[in-house]
């Protein structure tokens, strides 16, 4: 695929991305706008899915949110979901400025936290023609309560309130790790050791801009995040959910609940015998989801096949402890 480094304005900050176009395919091109989940950078996982979309003649725009990766913005590693949703909408505006992009076949793709974002964007912005939601976060409060357990969730909330009081006194907000190898000894956002292992493996291999921490306020904002009220407003955008049967991070039952709230009949729900984390490092598991997504796009949006097949990279799985 042909790659171009691009940038666009979002809320006074500069979001940096990579725009890819399939070789040998004439425009205007269908486009998938892609961003990642918690503490992602655009080099994480997104390029692997993009290869499948390239193989069916789709362009992709993979970008870093403000405050993250190559994009500007302070404080660094501050994850405000509403700012990230605005970044998606400005990515749509950026796509509209390109004559070789087909607005009638432009949509959005998101994984984990971003899987929820694309549902919100579809509810409030009429421009996406499709949304692909991959193992999405649906309800931040319930998700944090489930993954931490009652006692650790209470401790997390104490940390959040202490940080809020400190910020009120004029101090900068504090940080906690995204995850930890000792999640029940150290307060972190996602208390799973495999999350730490997988993200650090990807960082070492191909995503050096990843920082494995976030502001404490990011978690506070996360507990206020609920996608379901927005799902009720998705009237026109075609939606594909791809869920993991063994998802102990973002919970398939919440995803089913959100899916059922979407009134648009042009929707599909696919469940795969994978886990939330395995689709980050296991190329076979990732490929199961990516191929179904590519087939769904080709079927619904008529992309022409790329001139040549894509050579897909293989990443070794993270060793078990």
Residue 175 maps to a domain = no
d(CA 289, CA 38) in angstroms, rounded, equals 20
Confidence of residue 305 (pLDDT cuts 50, 70, 90): very low
Cis peptide before 3 (omega within 30 of 0): no
Average pLDDT estimate for 215-226: 98
Residue 314 maps to a domain = no
| Structure confidence by residue, pLDDT tens digits, 150-174 | 999 999 999 999 999 999 999 999 9
| Structure confidence by residue, pLDDT tens digits, 186-199 | 999 999 999 999 99
Residue 308 maps to a domain = no
Average pLDDT along the chain: 93
Residue 149 maps to a domain = no
| Structure confidence by residue, pLDDT tens digits, 24-79 | 888 799 999 999 999 999 999 999 999 999 999 999 999 999 999 999 999 999 99
d(CA 211, CA 219) in angstroms, rounded, equals 16
CATH of the domain at 83: 3.40.50.1820
Q: Which residues contact 299 (CB under 8 A, 6 or more apart)?
A: none
Number of domains comprising the chain: 1
Residue 205 maps to a domain = no
pTM over 0.85: yes
Q: Domain containing 272: what range?
A: 2-139+226-301
DSSP 311: P
Residue 247 maps to a domain = yes
Residue 158 maps to a domain = no
Residue 9 maps to a domain = yes
């Amino acid at each position: 695929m042909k790659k171009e480094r691009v940038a666009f304005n979002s809320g006074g900050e500069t979001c940096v991305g990579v725009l890819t176009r399939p070789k040998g395919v004439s425009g205007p091109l269908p486009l998938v706008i892609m961003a990642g989940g918690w503490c992602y950078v655009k080099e994480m996982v997104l390029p692997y899915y993009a290869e499948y979309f390239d193989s069916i003649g789709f362009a992709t725009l993979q970008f870093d949110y403000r405050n993250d990766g190559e994009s500007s913005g302070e404080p660094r590693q501050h994850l405000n979901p509403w700012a990230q949703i605005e970044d998606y909408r400005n990515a749509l505006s950026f796509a509209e400025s390109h004559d070789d992009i087909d607005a009638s076949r432009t949509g959005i793709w998101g994984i984990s936290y971003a899987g929820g974002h694309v549902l919100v964007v579809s509810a409030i912005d009429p421009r996406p023609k499709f949304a692909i939601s991959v193992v999405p976060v649906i309800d931040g409060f319930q998700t944090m309560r489930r993954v931490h357990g009652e006692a650790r969730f209470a401790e997390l909330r104490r940390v959040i309130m202490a940080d809020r009081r400190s910020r009120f006194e004029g101090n900068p907000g504090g940080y906690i790790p995204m995850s930890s190898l000792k999640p029940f000894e150290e307060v972190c956002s996602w208390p799973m050791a495999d999350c730490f292992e997988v993200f650090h493996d990807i960082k070492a291999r191909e995503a050096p801009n990843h920082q494995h921490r976030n502001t404490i306020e990011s978690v506070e904002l996360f507990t206020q995040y609920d996608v379901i009220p927005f799902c009720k407003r998705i009237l026109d955008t075609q939606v594909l959910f791809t869920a993991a049967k063994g998802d102990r991070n973002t919970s398939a039952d919440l995803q089913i609940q959100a899916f059922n709230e979407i009134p648009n009949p042009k929707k599909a729900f696919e469940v795969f015998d994978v886990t939330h984390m395995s689709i980050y490092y296991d190329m076979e598991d990732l490929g199961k989801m990516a191929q179904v997504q590519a087939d769904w796009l080709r079927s619904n949006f008529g992309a022409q096949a790329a001139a040549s097949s894509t050579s897909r990279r293989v990443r070794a799985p993270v060793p078990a402890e």
